[in-house]
Structure 1
Amino acid sequence: MSYDGLPPLKDVVDRFELRAKKSLGQNFLFDLNITNKIARAAGDLTQSTVIEVGPGPGGLTRALLANGAKRVIAVERDGRCLPALAEVAAHYPERLEVISGDALATDFAALAAGAADVRIVANLPYNIGTELLIRWLTGPKWPPYWNSMTLMFQKEVAQRIVAKPGDNAYGRLGVLAGWRCKSDIVFDLPPQAFSPPPKVNSAVVHIEPREAPLATDERVLSRVTEAAFGQRRKMLRQSLKSLGGEALLAQAGIEATRRAETLSVEEFVDLSRLVQAGVTI
């Protein structure tokens, strides 16, 4: 038996014949030290409803519950994993709810309805992690329904999330994250921590919403950043030509010869406000 009274995760995987599927972006974490470290990075969970995406056989789920999470709602697409998760739910009565379904089709705000403190904690499937993050960052209501997110990504994606102007990794994702949130890489993980080992390193990112983010329309900000970074090697007067080019930049007080990676989040917001004033999306 393991530290929580449940069978070791490797035994669970063997018993239920749970082999990770590449098509689902699965890479299982067996190391209890790591899953506990992720759970602790999310903070005090004793009064929290935790939303987990892609729990698989339940390694991180068990760590969250063992670390005192008041309630865990786990969304799992792979039906093969449901019996293993049912065992965890039985071991922690009324504290674990398993939702069988696709995370991309899930209304997470509805799942969190009524909860005072919501944390999203997940070893996200690599093939949908970035899309889910953008959805969580760009919801219409702010502050959002979640109080923090502690998420596993490919290290390259994690670096893009926390990147600042001038960093090689700075791009659209860094602007969207920096616009509304504070983000930090908590720790890195090598491929050997997973089964099967991915071909890339991974990292855990902790994200908290800003109390007073700069006001702008997310759709317009996305359009401006997409145009700017879509031709990142070109000067802004060229990459933003379809949105007003030099005239737009002059209004914002930004030199037309600069490139996208040199602009701060605040400057992107200024450009978005000007575009919004003159463009109907």
Structure 2
Amino acid sequence: MATLDIALLKSFVAVARAGSIRAAADRVGRTQSALSLQMKKLEDIAGAPLLHRTGSGVTLTVAGERLIGGAERILAAHDETLALMRPRGLRGALSFGCPEDYLTAFFPALLRRYGQDHPDVEIEIVCAPTVELRPMLARRRIDLALISVPGAAAGVDILRHEPLVWIGAPALLEAQPLPLALAGPETVDHRMARAVLDAAGRAYRVTHASNGLAGLLAIARSGLAISVVTGAAVPADLCVLSDGLPPLPRIGMTVTCASPRPTPVVRAFGDFVAAALRSD
């Protein structure tokens, strides 16, 4: 009877998440040829191709999609059992997605504290806006993510609320129409900023765009447009504009795992982030 080897399943999950054998090889510390041989061996066991190989990487076949869920459940049970047998603290690796403004505002201290308590946990940080993190979670390219949701989102465990604020040069408040620098149109902050200006009847135009915090801050510093960021991410050298513009709503923050059965390492880090943000 054919059996599924833990090492093969770990490599398969790494390839599926990375979207290419080259990227997965860098992540797991193997050569591309060794990883390719592992995938061939696993396909022989499965009796069907698991990966579509293209010039830009790999995607899962129908058989690969069937295997990925079971592989993650097996690995989660394996890691949990191993942790019970060897209670020497958490050990393993995870990939964590986070928008740049949250990463800048909250995580230097949180990661330092977590690293001191759990030195054997390796954390890969993927910095991207929520609209990019959601499909990464759906495809299991990352293990978990801190994402933004509307402040009044129903059925969501909101860890904390953060206000959105206008930042930029006060002189721009007199401009008609108001020049704006916003993140992409799919983002929560973009939609909320336009909604409150439309409701107030204030003329505006989006003159600059950036999905990264650094870009929005740079545009605000240039004096060319007014940006929208979370209050916690405003640096000391930029002004929060509270007069002359309609107030912005708050957004919620929540931790979401890619798998319904995360590994003990992933679950522990998610619990740590949730507890830290709730109490901060």
- Does the alignment reach a TM-score above 0.5? no
Which is higher, the Rg of structure 1 or of structure 2? 2
| Greater relative contact order (Cα < 8 A, sep 6+) | 2
Give the structure with the higher percent helix: 2
TM-score, normalised via structure 2 length: 0.31
TM-score, normalised via structure 1 length: 0.31
